[in-house]
Amino acid sequence: MKNNKNVQDLMKRLITHSKNANSLNEKVTNLIIEDIITLYKQNCDAYGSGIMVFNVLDPSRSNFTTIEDFKNDIAIAEENCEDDLARFLQKSVQIAEKCYKSEKAVVLLTDGYDLKLFAVDLEEAVSNINNLFNRALFEL
């Protein structure tokens, strides 16, 4: 299975010819994923079901958004006849409700133009990251 171009570009930046640097980059990447999941769970405990929204171009606009806020956004999208956005948000709500109180964190990434939703499982994410680094080392 081929990675998409963004993942390949990221891996090229993270993978070096230094085993020590690669080990550090792998550990840092895993810690970031752990922090995202911890932050998600803390917000769920405080506010209930929701989604961690990360704006990659403007991190200060990143936040935890509750399901109720998403439902309000769905209503606004429907009023503005933005059917694709309304369907995406509705599907996001369904996934967040399904993952609530599970081991997964629901994360939405946006750059202001695209939206991508992920249900992140820590063990699976760490395993995937380790596999990416190990595979990339052999491809150098």
Q: What is the mean pLDDT of the chain?
A: 85
pLDDT in tens, 24-36: 888 888 898 899 8
Pick the closest to residue 51 from 86, 89, 9 (CA basis).
Answer: 89
3-state secondary structure at position 131:
helix
pLDDT in tens, 84-123: 999 999 999 999 999 998 889 999 998 878 889 999 888 8
pTM of the entire predicted model: 0.77
The reported pLDDT for the residue numbered 50 is: 95
What are the domain boundaries of the chain?
5-139
Higher pLDDT, 115 or 78: 78
